[in-house]
Structure 1
Amino acid sequence: MEKLKELLEKVQKGELSVEEALKFLKDLPYEDLGFAKVDHHRALRKGVPEVIFCQGKTPEQVVKIAERMMQKGTNIMGTRASLEVFEEVKKAIPEAVYYPDARIFAVIKEPAAKNRGIIAVVSAGTSDLPVAEEAAVTAELLGNRVERLYDVGVAGIHRLFMNMEVLEKARVIVVVAGMEGALASVVGGLVDKPVIAVPTSVGYGANFSGLSALLTMLNSCAGGITVVNIDNGFGAGLAAHQINRLGGREDETLIS
């Protein structure tokens, strides 16, 4: 909506011709690149621009999408991005930044407004770190303060209990766990805030590539737990952001 107002103002001031404005407007709903239809309107609908899921795309396809988003002046985030993909993006967009643990690249044209609350990202084991970091970095790039609490799984539950202050000050908690996925139930039974559970594909054969953790989390007897798909750190980070922003932005005036 701000882009539309800006266009109208430029046309009214004579800084932009009607023809030039129409060229911009025709790509607003989406832009057809043949192999992809880039959703330039998503930020208007959801408050978050389209995110590029890089897995399965060629580096050239990712670069083309990123370049078109860059031309529209939106922030860019690419998930499941290999180093090879990032290196190609970096050649085209030098300001791109890579977060290797999260497998995310980003180009931030305008930093997101800061949300007031804190999101805690908790992982059962170090092997869950890539998924946990995908959630944490996603939330941070969207304007949230994130507290990380890693390697506190049920095999040594005292590690969690000795760090309860992290859970207590958070507004929403993302719990990432593989194997049997029990950590989400433990955390859900201890706190009075939303818990987003993320099953990971970490585990031995009977883990079935994360299916056992997924079923454990779905069958949790602790209330207030919602579950995203296996290894979906991005989905958890975005959901946590959407919950956290309901509490308002740091620059908004509090009304008593």
Structure 2
Amino acid sequence: MRKARIAYGGAIHEATEWQGQLLVDDGRIVDENEVTWLTPIEPRTVFALGLNYADHAAELAFTAPSEPLVFLKGPHTFIGHQGFTRRPADISYMHYECELAVIIGKTARNVKKEDAYNYVKGYSVANDYAIRDYLENYYRPNLRVKNRDAATPFGPWMVDAQDVVDPMSLKLTTHVNNKLVQEGTTSDMIFDIPTLIAYLSSFMTLSENDVILTGTPKGSVDTAVGDVVVTEIEGIGRLVNTIIGDESFINR
């Protein structure tokens, strides 16, 4: 089942996909373009992976890490499907990152790899924009690179874990203005989903609605104001985002 959170008719609702439309939790059926899309869950602690795809590490001329490279993201970084992301006027390189989002479903501590999928509630799509101008190095992305307001579109759906047969064999693509610019598969992750859950839960407690952003394959290139960026993962969803500039804001 595909589930979403939306704003419609002055209220926030949960909704499910229904014959190309949305079935709202109050029984109404509405078109997708009639609603404001929110993130599919309200994320708690969000863990993001750096250099977790072998081809992406090679693209950047880095040796693949021997241990997961994890950093945290704040709640204000996230926006929903069809949202707008700001590109500051004083930067030279801002790129998309199509990522599989793993949503934790229950408290997890010291989880064994063979049991890890039992702790997954569902999956979604994230586009974790990065501004390379602010990057210290790829092993330590600083706050301005990955924690800018509204710089991580997330959604539109959460797909129930039981409906995803093999999350480690999903195709990922990114299109910018209808042009294919990034393509990969989750099978190229250096650290797979069970490994990440076991690793994180070995030293801290994971809770429901914690999220793991599992990294991106090669093909991240610069974007510009006005670009429409579509990140898509096979069987999970198609996430649309538009880049806007400083001129859209009063306080620059």
Q: How high is the TM-score relative to the length of structure 2?
A: 0.24
Q: Which of the pair is proportionally richer in strand?
A: 2
Q: Which of the pair is proportionally richer in helix?
A: 1
Q: How high is the TM-score relative to the length of structure 1?
A: 0.24
